[in-house]
Every structure is written in C-alpha cells, then in structure tokens.
A and B are shown apart, each in its own frame.
Chain A
C-alpha cells in the first residue's frame, strides 16, 4: 500500500510547478577522503545501493525456497524459471516488432522485466485466499526475471564496462564463500565483504544491484539442527540459573546460531525493505511530468505503444503459454494447489514493469521526449496490468468461493464416534480440530500443545487430530499407522511417538514409533499393512481437499480455520479466546436465575 502512496506522491511532486523534484533527486551525496572522492546523486544511491538490499532480500527468499522449501524439487522450480525466460524474450520481440524502423528500437530493455515489489504487493492485495504456493511461483518468476533483466542492463546498457573492479567483487564474494565454509555464523561479519562486493560491481559498470543477488546467493542457509537447538536450550537454562550478562550473551549467540544467516538476514531486512527502501524508490523514480501535450504525443508514438503492448500482452502471453507448454510435458510440475487460471492471473500482473523499466528508460533514451514517452508507456502499462490482474483475481476468487464454499469452515464437525478425542466432547464449549502430517518437520511440539490443552482447558475444550498427508511419500503410511494404533487403544500414544520421529522418512521410523508406543507389533503390522484405518484417513484427505487445506498442520478452532502462527502459545491463545467468547455467549444465552 505504502508503495502505491509513494508512487502517487512522486507523480504529484513531479508535476508541481518548478523543478524541485529533479533537483532534489540529483543532489550529490558522497564521501571524500583526502584525494579520494566517491559520490553519487541521490537517485543513484537509491537505485544502486538501496535496491541492492532489496534484491538481496528477494534473493534470500528464493534461495530459502530452493534449499528448503517448495522449489527444492527442481521439477517445480523449473516452471517459473522457464516462464520468466519466455517473459524476458517475448515482450522484447513484440516491442522490437512495433518500433522497427524507428530510432526507439534500442529501448527493448524497457519491457523485459516485471516489477518484483509491485507484483508481490498487488498479489498480496488482490490474491487474498490464493494458495501460498502461488506467491512462491511469483517470487521465483519475478526474481529470475530480475536476474535476467539485470543481465540485460549489465550487458546491453552498460556503456563503460570495466572488468577490473569485477575482480574486487570476486574477491569479496570469495571471502564470503570462505566465511561460509568456515561456518562463520555472526551476521554482521558478512557486512564488510558485502560492501566490497557492491563497490566492485558499481565501479565495473555492471549494475550494482547484482551485488545484492550474488551475496544473497552465497549466504549460508540450513534448516535448524537439533544439536544447535539443544545447545541453545542448555545456554538458556544456564542463563535462567545465573542471569548474568555473560550467560545472556552466550544464550543469545547460541539462539542466533541455531537459525541460518539467510533467515536472520531476511527477517532483519524485511521491515526496512517494506517501509523504507521500496517507498523511497517509488518516490525517486515514478516522478513523470504529465501534461496533456505529453500524453497526446505519447499515445501516438509507436514507442509508447510498444512498451504498453510489450509489457501487458507480451508478458501475459509469454508466461501463460510457456507454463502451459511446460505442464504439458511435466504434468503436476506446478504442484497440487495451482492451476492454469492462477497462472493467467499472475501473468496479467506480470505486465507491471515499473522499477527496472523506468530504470532502463533512463539508460536507453537520451532524448527527453523519448524518455517522457517511455515513462508514460511504463506507467500506463503498469496501471493497465494491475487493473487487468485485479479483475482476473476477483473473478478467480469468486470462482473459488463458488467451488469451495466451505473454505475456512470446518466441513465435518468433531464427532466422538469417529474422531479420537482429548478432553470431553460432551461438556466442551470449544472444539479444536487439527489437520496434520507426520512427514513434515512442522509436526513437532504438538505433544506440548496437547499437554497444555489438557492442562489449561480441561473439560472445556475437546481436541482431535485428523490426517492431511499432502504429497510426502510416507505421509499416508504414517497416518494409517496412527489409525492402526487405534485398534489397540493407543491413538494418542502413537501420535506422540510419530511426532517424536517426525519427519517420517522411513518405514523403520514408523515401526520404532509403534514399539515405543507399546503396541503389539504383530497386530500393528497386520492392521497397518491391511490399511485398517484407511476409511478415516481417506475421509480426512478428501475433506482436506474439499476445504482446500494446503498446509499441515491446519487448525480449526470452534469450526473456524485458524490462520495465525502455529506455535503452541499462539494456538492456545486462540483457543483461550474462542473459549472465552463461547463462555460469554453462553452467559447471555442462558438467563441467570
């Protein structure tokens, strides 16, 4: 939102009488050390330095997804990347086709790139209720496209390319690589080589924001290791016993250590990127002077139309068609929750070519008239793409609501005759239904949740667990094992042991859990192999699909989908709130005597 406000403010400011906008953004700012002077004007500080941080931020997210998340599977990651490549080439060809023979052909770089920040912002705004995997698709698409576009800037629009400083950048990157190899985990230590890398890129003439991408690609990432967690826990305990500054510091360090720099950096950067970097960028770049004359001129020039059609039609066609072709060859490569309609919606949004388009405009055109035409074209394309995308997502949202009227509502109420219940289903005033999956690492801490729930809410809350195995290979096998344990009256014991083993990746883990839960292994194996509990599992899976549940665990508190953080405290707070609300309702419903 703040991004749109900043854009709006920039437009107003630029159209105020006088030249305060241009003057301000061209103020030089720099450092001078003796003979050495280094300065950039304000706009370049924003575009080259702040935006490097932004691209680093986006790259961190993509890398995390590549390493640990949705895109770990190359089959999946390849779709948005291929679509992004098509989205770079097709619009450029369209632009060249339209402007062929004019002097504006050289501006093809204006239409190659989607604006990552805008498209994600729009998606957050209009794509509410869309599958989270769609956002990951868009992020990957946008970042691949940014990397491509930065390449275009670097090689097509760099006048004075100077390879020597790139050695400096390479040295900085090598230092980061060595630090990573040595397992340096203190985030700030990475800052110094990062600045060196940035300066290297800047001096070489290659766009300096590439430094952000390169650095973010190199920062270490890993999922939290159990050892580190234990160490952190020990340090915390030490701090509890002797709360001194020293033990506080080592506790802090061991906590930080347990989380990779990638994730810490990502979280640390997020507020700055959202509330400072992007708005400032919009403010400094979107200031186009608009007059009736300039508009009339722009919309009669092939340059403007080349940009508008290249971005809006080119991006849409390229991304949709490329994705469609890839999924013909590799069905399921998009994942279960995304369909072609989602992709078309996203591809419409992808016509928002704001940041890099405006950036390239400055590089590609010298004639102020051409610059103005191009800027108007970019703004028009961005607004048009945003509107089309918004309309597409409104239709999509309405269609989904129609197809999945139950979204966010629990389809099958807690039923003590089919669901194992903790607490008392008769006296409970709030029900909690969890849809979970033992094959993901997120299953942990459910035991703690269960104990808390019993302790804190006693007979007021009834809790059950249902299965949402999603597509991990052993998810369903683990769910069936849990149901097989029900035959021996040990559903919850088996659940605790499966959680202790989670993520379940081998059948041996399941057998170990069964032994630890104290089951008769022979009967267990028979019931498990014959899928004795398949009916409940399959019903749960079917319900999950109908309700469009796409992440495990999902909680329904009092029949409503719970959407916040899934740590024990947050869920329990929500349960407590629901209980209080329900108790309050009851007070009013039953007249007091």
Chain B
C-alpha cells in the first residue's frame, strides 16, 4: 500500500496487458498499474467481474477489458488484436492467471492436475507467445518492454500438499529463465516474481488469503517497480517470502 504513491506516474505512456485481471493478484496489479499511469488491458473470463473492476478503476480511456479464456489460443489472439486496435502497441505483459488445488499427492485428482497444467502453464505459454511479437516490436523501438510472469514458491517442506502446483510453478520459473536468455539480447526484459504462500492449509480459503503475509498489493508494487526500471537493468527474479519464515 505504502509504495503506491511513490510509483505514481512512472508508467505513463506504457500499455499493459494483464491476464487473470479479475483474480486475487491480477486485480491488485491492474489497480497499481493504472495508478502508475499505464493504460491497462484487463483480460479475464468473467465479464461481470471485469466490468466491476473497470468501474472501480474509474473507467476512462486508459482501461480496456477483454474477455478471454487463457487456455484458448484464439481468445488470447483476439485480446491481442483488441489491445493493438485500441492502444497501438503493447509493452508490458503480466500473466497472473492461475489455479491452485492442494491435496496429498496420492489423493490428487488428475483432472485438477490437467487444469493446473492447462491454465498455469499452457495458458501462460499462449499469452507469452501471442504477445511476444508486440513486445519485441516495442523493444525494437528503443523503449522498455517487459514480460512479467507470476510464479510461486512453496516455502514449507513440512506440508507438501502442493506437489503438482509446485512442479508447474517450477516449469514456469524455468521458462522465465530460458526466455530471459532468448529475449534479453533483443531488449525484452523477462521477469519472474514468485510470492511464497502460507503453509496454513487448514483454515478457510478467504481467511487464509486475508492472513497471507505477502499481500497482492505488495506483489503489484514489485511489478510496477520492475517495469519502471531503466531499460538497461532487469529485475529478473523476485521472491517474496513471509518475514517470519526462512
């Protein structure tokens, strides 16, 4: 919360596309980016929640909503076309869409794994690939261009109920690292921001979120910070852990 004012205006002129915009993390990121002066294309599946978020952000010319399922390549491509049609270019992509299911591995539901792989990994691949072209074009133009992937780190080895989710998150991290090598030389910064989540799986979902030491606003501030750095420097990897752990 406290960083919000400080970052204001540093993203003026930037065009951001946020996948998972209506999610717990995504909504905070959209708010933060809009406050920092960026134009924001909010991409989500739920039209009502997108509209609600748009109203909350005061509407305006700088906010566009796009309904898309990140697992559908065609939907993602439609969002790209809409973004380009409205703002002319895209130079910041944040992929914060993701689902989490937790269970002891032997009790896991394979369909849940499929969903996590589809949304968290394949969806992220679709979004990154579809927007690689406009991002690289912005980088070629000499400006800053950022691809921000939101990953996750499991912090507590004593409650290993996130085996598949962690495996997928590790894949995302590996993708970020490799893409950084591929796109860094071309001027496109690839970031991976990994919040550690609480290991308290016994309490209720919402309560858990409310009690999480790392709040979405904090993650959003890091996204804004990373995107606002000068072109020459890349805040490549950020791990956000609860102070009490480690």
Interface residues, chain A, with chain B CB atoms under 8 Å away: 511-512, 515-516, 518, 520-522
| Interface residue ranges of B61-88 to A (CB < 8 Å) | 72-74, 77
Residue B129 interfacial (CB < 8 Å): yes
Sample 10 A-B pairs with CB under 8 A, ordered by A number.
Answer: A511-B74, A511-B77, A512-B74, A515-B72, A515-B74, A515-B77, A518-B73, A520-B129, A521-B73, A521-B130
Query: B133 to A521, Cβ gap below 8 A?
Result: no
Count of B interface residues, CB-CB < 8 Å: 7
State A521–B129 Cα separation when bound (angstroms). Answer: 10
The one of A512, A518, A522 in contact with B133, judged by C-beta atoms closer than 8 angstroms, is A522
Q: Which residues of B contact A511 (CB under 8 A)?
A: 74, 77
Which residue in chain A gives the minimum CB-CB distance to B129?
A520
State A133–B129 Cα separation when bound (angstroms). Answer: 49
Q: Which residues of B contact A518 (CB under 8 A)?
A: 73
Q: Which residues of B contact A520 (CB under 8 A)?
A: 129
| Interface residue ranges of B113-168 to A (CB < 8 Å) | 129-130, 133
Q: Which residues of A contact B77 (CB under 8 A)?
A: 511, 515, 521
State A511–B133 Cα separation when bound (angstroms). Answer: 18
State A522–B74 Cα separation when bound (angstroms). Answer: 11
- Among B72, B73, B130, B133, chain A packs the most CB atoms within 10 A around the CB of B73
Given A515-B77, A521-B73, A522-B133, 14 more contacts at CB 8 Å?
A511-B74, A511-B77, A512-B74, A515-B72, A515-B73, A515-B74, A516-B74, A518-B73, A520-B129, A521-B74, A521-B77, A521-B130, A522-B129, A522-B130
State A520–B76 Cα separation when bound (angstroms). Answer: 12
Question: Nearest Cβ distance between residue A430 and chain B, in whole angstroms?
Answer: 38
Interface residues, chain B, with chain A CB atoms under 8 Å away: 72-74, 77, 129-130, 133
State A172–B73 Cα separation when bound (angstroms). Answer: 56
State A518–B73 Cα separation when bound (angstroms). Answer: 8
Q: Which residues of A contact B74 (CB under 8 A)?
A: 511-512, 515-516, 521
State A593–B133 Cα separation when bound (angstroms). Answer: 64
State A515–B77 Cα separation when bound (angstroms). Answer: 9
Which residue in chain A gives the minimum CB-CB distance to B77?
A521
Question: Nearest Cβ distance between residue A521 and chain B, in whole angstroms?
Answer: 5
Q: Which residues of A contact B129 (CB under 8 A)?
A: 520, 522
Q: Which residues of B contact A522 (CB under 8 A)?
A: 129-130, 133
Closest 10 CB pairs of A and B: A515-B74, A515-B73, A521-B77, A512-B74, A522-B133, A521-B73, A511-B74, A515-B72, A521-B130, A520-B129
Q: Which residues of A contact B130 (CB under 8 A)?
A: 521-522
Q: Which residues of B contact A515 (CB under 8 A)?
A: 72-74, 77
Question: Nearest Cβ distance between residue B204 and chain A, in whole angstroms?
Answer: 38
Question: Nearest Cβ distance between residue B72 and chain A, in whole angstroms?
Answer: 7
Q: Which residues of A contact B72 (CB under 8 A)?
A: 515
Which residue in chain B gives the minimum CB-CB distance to A520?
B129
- Among B72, B77, B133, chain A packs the most CB atoms within 10 A around the CB of B77
Question: Nearest Cβ distance between residue B81 and chain A, in whole angstroms?
Answer: 10
Which residue in chain B gives the minimum CB-CB distance to A511?
B74
Which residue in chain A gives the minimum CB-CB distance to B75?
A515
State A511–B75 Cα separation when bound (angstroms). Answer: 11
Question: Nearest Cβ distance between residue A149 and chain B, in whole angstroms?
Answer: 56
- Among A516, A518, A520, A521, chain B packs the most CB atoms within 10 A around the CB of A521
State A522–B133 Cα separation when bound (angstroms). Answer: 9
State A512–B77 Cα separation when bound (angstroms). Answer: 11
Which residue in chain B gives the minimum CB-CB distance to A512?
B74
Question: Nearest Cβ distance between residue A481 and chain B, in whole angstroms?
Answer: 14
Question: Nearest Cβ distance between residue B236 and chain A, in whole angstroms?
Answer: 26
Question: Nearest Cβ distance between residue A513 and chain B, in whole angstroms?
Answer: 10
Q: Which residues of B contact A512 (CB under 8 A)?
A: 74
State A158–B176 Cα separation when bound (angstroms). Answer: 90
